[in-house]
Structure 1
Amino acid sequence: MADVDAKGIALVTGGGTGVGKAMVRALADTGWTVVIAGRRLEVLDEAIREFGPESSAKVHAIVADVGIPGSVRALFEEVESRFGRLDLLVNNAGSGAPAVPLDELDVEDWNRVVAANLTGAFLCTQQAFRIMKAQTPRGGRIINNGSISATTPRPNSAPYTATKHAITGLTKSCALDGRAFDIACGQIDIGNAATDMTERMRAGIVQPNGETMVEPTIDPKLVADAVVYMAGLPLDANVLTMTVMATKMPFVGRG
C-alpha cells in the first residue's frame, strides 16, 4: 500500500488538462496525495511532468473513462487497493457539444455530454460513497465542478447547461444522503477560467442578444485555491456552493 500524506487521498477526474490540472497541482502542493484520472495516459503523464519533482511525487495517474461503469469501478478499486481509502473526490471531468441551434443538435452529441458530465459524476460519486461509508475514519468530501452554466445558460448550449443544472441536484442529493455517513458534498461554479476550453473566447463569444463579445478570464489557480479551501474544511463544515468568476464577465444580468 502506498504512503499517504497527512491531508489524505484525493481523486480528481479530468485532471490532466485545464482547470483540473490546476486543481491537482494545488492539492499536491498543499500536502494531498492525488490520483489524477483521465482517458489518455500520455496526457496524464505530461501533466505530472509539468508539476516538477516535489509535486509530481505526490500525483499518481490512473486511466479511466468516467462515462463507462466498468471503467469507473476499476478506477475506484485501484485507488482503494493502492491507498486504502479515499478522502476527497473532485468530479471535474466534463465535455461540451457544438454550439448549434437545439433543433440541429445530433443526439449522439447529447448522449456524449450527458455521459461525461452527469452520468460520470454519478458513477464516481456512487463508488466514492461505497468507500467513504466503509473506511476508518469514516467519511470524506466530494466537490463537483458545476460551472456557472449550472445557473444560467449561454446560447446554443442545451446539453452542457442541462447536465450542469443536474449536477446541482446531484450535489444537493449527495449532501443530504451523505450526512449520516460523514460525507460532505459541495459544488464550485466556475466562470471563465483561462484554459484551452476558453481559448476560443479570445476572438469573442456570442451573447444572448446576438452580439459577439470578448469576455474577461481569470487564472485557473484562483479556482484551484478555492478547491483547496473547500477540501481543507473539517467534515462538520461544508461549502455547499461557491462561484468563482471573472468580475467583469457578463454573468449577473446575463440575457
Structure 2
Amino acid sequence: MVTGAGSGIGRSVALELAREAGGRPGWAVALAGRRAAALEETAALAGPDAETLRVPADVTDPAAVAALFDAVRERYGRVDLLFNNAGTFGPGGVGFADLPYEAWRKVVDVNLTGAFLCAQAAFRQMRDQRPQGGRIINNGSVSAHTPRPDSAPYTATKHALTGLTKSVSLDGRPYAIACGQIDIGNAATEMTRAMESGVRQANGELAPEPVMDAADVARTVRHMAELPLEANVQFATVMATAMPYIGRG
C-alpha cells in the first residue's frame, strides 16, 4: 500500500513497485489518496499489466483508514508493505509568530496523525495475518533533522515521525514487523517546484536549490521494501547531492 499515491514521491514509488525489475515481478499495489482522478492517472501510468487497486481515502479520518485497509484485505487477503507517505508542507512564507492554529493543526493531522492511523492499521493487519509480519516504511524528511525557516509545523511533525518509526520498529519485533524511515531532500515534485527558482535560506536570502529525480527515491524505497524481514534499513537519507543541508551548504 502506498498513501499519497496520486502525485509526487508517492506516485513514483507506486510506479517503481508495480513494475517488473531485475527479473522480479511487480508488487500488487494499493493506491491510496484523496483524489480519485489522480489515483486513476497513477494506475494508467503503471500500465495494463500492473496489478493496482485504487482506494480514495483521507488518512486523517479513522473511518476512512479502516475502510482503506478493509478494501485491501478483501482484495488481497494481506498487507506486506505500507509506504506511509501522505503529507503536506503547510503554509509557506508564514513566520512562527503569525502561524494560525488551523494551519498548525492541518499539518499535524496529515503528517503525524495520518501516519499513526495508517501505521496502526497496517501493524494490526500484519500481526494478525498468516504468515505473520510485514514492513512499514515512513516517509520522513531531512526536516526530521534540520529545519528550514518558517517551517515549524512540518519540522515538528517530521521529528515526531522519527519517534513513531522507532516505537513501531521496537513494538513490531515480536510479530516480524519491520519499520524504517526514508528521509528525503529536494526530490523534484509538484510540492518542491519552487526550489528551482528560489527558496529562503537560513540567512534570509532567496536562492535556487538543486533537486533530484523522484525516481531515485523510489528505487531506494524498493530496496528497503524487498529486504527479507530479518533485515531492516532503519533510517536512510536520500538527497540532492549539492543541496544546502550538510555543513554550510
TM-score scaled by length of structure 2: 0.96
Q: Where does residue 204 of structure 1 map in the other structure?
A: 198
Q: Where does residue 52 of structure 2 map in the other structure?
A: 59
SS state at 2:209 partner:
coil
In 1, Cα distance between equivalents of 2:208 and 2:34: 31
Question: Does the 8 Å CA contact 1:67/1:119 hold for their aligned counterparts?
Answer: yes
SS state at 1:143 partner:
strand
Which runs of no fewer than 5 residues in structure 1 stay unpaired?
A: 1-10
> Residues 254, 106 of structure 1: CA spacing in aligned structure 2 closer, same or farther, 3 A cutoff?
farther
Q: Where does residue 139 of structure 1 map in the other structure?
A: 133
Question: Does the 8 Å CA contact 2:18/2:46 hold for their aligned counterparts?
Answer: no
Question: Does the 8 Å CA contact 2:210/2:242 hold for their aligned counterparts?
Answer: yes
TM-score scaled by length of structure 1: 0.93
How far off its partner does 1:112 sit? 0.6
Q: Where does residue 195 of structure 1 map in the other structure?
A: 189
Q: Where does residue 82 of structure 2 map in the other structure?
A: 89
Of 200, 212, 232, which residue of structure 1 is paired with 2:226? Answer: 232
Q: Identity, % of aligned pairs?
A: 58
Question: Does the 8 Å CA contact 1:85/1:135 hold for their aligned counterparts?
Answer: yes
Q: Where does residue 14 of structure 1 map in the other structure?
A: 4
Letter in 2 for 1:120: G
Q: Where does residue 19 of structure 2 map in the other structure?
A: 29
In 1, Cα distance between equivalents of 2:193 and 2:202: 20
In 2, Cα distance between equivalents of 1:89 and 1:98: 27
SS state at 1:226 partner:
helix
SS state at 2:119 partner:
helix
Kindly tell me the number of residue pairs found equivalent between the two proteins: 243
Letter in 2 for 1:92: N
Q: Where does residue 219 of structure 1 map in the other structure?
A: 213
Q: Where does residue 63 of structure 2 map in the other structure?
A: 70
Q: Where does residue 5 of structure 1 map in the other structure?
A: none
The reply on whether 1:165 has 2:159 as its aligned counterpart is yes
Letter in 2 for 1:215: E
- Aligned residues: CA RMSD: 1.0
In 2, Cα distance between equivalents of 1:81 and 1:50: 24
In 2, Cα distance between equivalents of 1:254 and 1:96: 23
SS state at 2:108 partner:
helix
SS state at 2:188 partner:
coil
